[in-house]
Amino acid sequence: MDGPYKVVVVDDQLIARGYMEYSVRATKGFAVVAVLASAQEALDYCREHPLDLLIMDIMMKHGVDGLSAARLIKQQRPQVKIILATSLAEPRWLAQAREAGIESFWFMEGSEMPLQEIMERTMAGESVYDDKPPAVNLGNVTSDDLSPKQKELLRYLTAGLSDREIGEKMGVSPTTVRTHLDRIMIKTGIHTRTELAVKVGRLGLVVTDQERLESVHRKGKFAEINKRGGNPS
């Protein structure tokens, strides 16, 4: 390698962007060549400039989301290595990133591995992924205490679907949907479905594809709280 690896950092949140930039500058053999605030800027930059590594958040406030942008960059510049990052706990993104050919995935909150190590291992040819997202607290339980089916139901609930619509998605009756919701509320100690939907949404425990594609930001250590109005039930 001639000179340090050229790295581009992308995040719409100033604190997260600054942390990523600091991590790169503090790692021997890596150099920041651009710090960007949107995935669209990353797409434009990658078309016109040389780089070796892209570190990019998934959820963005405006424009294309990080996962969609990473897919496009991989198609156009497959030699560029990518680390996708998130402060949320959505489990499906791990599989979606792998399917897109993204080299590595970093959970900003709860990951036992620092970003510097992920960078070094990625550029050494490894693909670095956690087995699952870090657990987040939801009432009396953590996300690890919820089954994949329960998380799927919560994803539809936060999207504002009715019991009938959720049942159609999951292949069960509206009565079964209500039964499962009652069980989740008993388990978590949360008393209403509206409160449940709001808390799940703010935690970023599940994120619908529509929310990701529309770039709706959720609460996280490095994220602002964007309160959602209305009744999601």
Same domain, 101 and 157: no
- pLDDT, one tens digit per residue, over 34-93 is 999 999 999 999 999 999 999 999 988 777 889 999 999 999 999 999 999 988 878 888
The answer for residues whose C-beta is within 8 angstroms of residue 165's C-beta and 6 or more apart is: 156
pLDDT digits (tens, 9 = 90+) for 119-157: 999 999 999 998 788 788 888 988 888 888 998 898 888
The CATH number for 195's domain is 1.10.10.10
Question: Would 182 be classed as within a structural domain?
Answer: yes
Count up the domains in the chain and report the number.
2
Q: Are 16 and 105 found together in one domain?
A: yes
pLDDT in tens, 33-51: 999 999 999 999 999 999 9
Residues of the chain with pLDDT > 70, as a percent, come to 88
Give residue 47's domain range: 5-123
In degrees and rounded to multiples of 5, residue 6 shows phi and psi of -85, 120
What CATH number corresponds to the domain at position 17?
A: 3.40.50.2300
If asked whether residues 71 and 175 sit together in one domain, one would say: no
Q: pLDDT band at residue 226, thresholds of 50, 70 and 90?
A: very low
List CB contacts of 10: < 8 A, sequence separation 6 or more.
Answer: 17, 36, 37, 38, 39, 41, 42, 54, 55, 56, 57, 66
- Do 150 and 85 lie in one domain? The reply is no
54 vs 110 pLDDT, higher one: 54
137 three-class SS: strand
pLDDT at 1: 60
